[in-house]
Amino acid sequence: MSTRSISRLFALTLLALATGLSSYAGDIVGRIKDANTDRYLPGVDVKIPGTNRNTTTDREGRYRFVDLDAGSYTVQAEYMGYDRDTKTISVPEIGSVTHNITVGEEVVELEAFEVEGYREGRSLALQQKKSADNIRDILSADSVGQIPDRNVADALVRLPGVAVQMSNGEGRFISIRGIAPDLNNVTVNGATVANPGVDGRAGRAMPLDVIGSAQISQLEVIKTVTPDMDAQGLGGTIEIKTASAFDREKGWLVGSLEGAYNEQPEDYGYRAEIQWAERFGADRKWGIAIGASYEFRPYQNDAVDMRWDKDDFLTDYDNDGIFEGEVE
């Protein structure tokens, strides 16, 4: 092959590359939120019908389609419990177009019915479970709040394959698929939590009744690991995700005050909780989330301990063959 032929071939290759690059210059980006709660929705199925382009939103509700030809595309978003959202978007030759989606804006006229604040949290958990790459069960913060005593262990026991070990009448240690609590892993935002040692018990079992719920955004029980996770939970991994200021479009301030009466110790218990989050900065790219809780719960354990003094065993019998002893 001559030098001229090689030069022509090289020029044609550059021309083909330039043509290819110019035809794939457009992107579609956006975020998806719930109209009722202003919460950004993770795990939403987003696709472009008629193509093989599909994705799911991340924790902050973001999605992105890259390298699209210039033209019009139909973007379709599906979220469990809500109507499908379909819009036609025009993609420019160069640059990106932003298409934010809000679900739950539909107004439906119904007859009188009882309202329960349950759908949003349930849909959030089921949608993420559906789009997950592994086997996991999820509880949102709304579901945790429905448990009267707000105990993390008592909330997790409502998931399939999870059992709880009781202490003082409340859940404390979690067993997954029948595996002992010492062989399960507990993480907070992906970081493994060490066992502080409770009641003189050494081991890997993490007491979940000591974790406050003021900063909890989501609880997950992961039964199969992915490559980005530590393979150190034989039964499974309990992932605790804390609240983030970027979970919702706007800041929020919530609080609660609860009281209870325990008949055994004849004493009152109480709980106070507050959570605040706000975003700030020029583009609201900075955020802070703070939560605090205080709780007092009176306990009383009733037990019977029967024993005898061996030295007096042969001298304490009465005529009926019954000897005296102490009951505490």
Give pLDDT, residue 77.
Answer: 94
Residue 55 has what pLDDT? Answer: 93
Q: What is the pLDDT of residue 303?
A: 74
**Cα 4 from chain centroid (whole Å):** 63
Domains of the chain: 23-131 (2.60.40.1120), 133-242 (2.170.130.10), 251-328 (no CATH)
pTM: 0.68
Q: Which two tokens stand for residue 174?
A: 């979690």
Quickly list H helices, the chain: 3-23, 119-131, 141-145, 152-156
pLDDT tens per residue, range 160-187: 889 988 877 778 888 998 888 888 889 9
Burial class (CB in 10 A: 0-12, 13-18, 19+), 283: exposed
Regions of the chain where pLDDT drops below 50 = 3, 6, 9-23, 317, 327-328
Contacting residues for 296 by C-beta, under 8 A, at least 6 apart: 269, 270, 271
Structure tokens at 98: 């932003």
Compute the chain's Rg from CA coordinates.
29
pLDDT of residue 17: 42
pLDDT given for residue 100 in this prediction:
94
Q: How far apart are CA 68 and CA 48, in angstroms?
A: 11
Q: What is the DSSP string of 192-239?
A: EPPP--BTTB-SSPPPGGGS-STTEEEEEEESS--TTS-S--SS-EEE
pLDDT number for residue 200: 62
C-alpha to C-alpha distance for 184 and 222, rounded to whole angstroms: 10
In the prediction, which pLDDT does 302 show?
A: 75
pLDDT in tens, 300-319: 777 777 776 655 555 554 55
The whole-number pLDDT of residue 157 equals 84
Dihedral over alpha carbons 132, 221, 253, 257 (to 10 degrees): 150
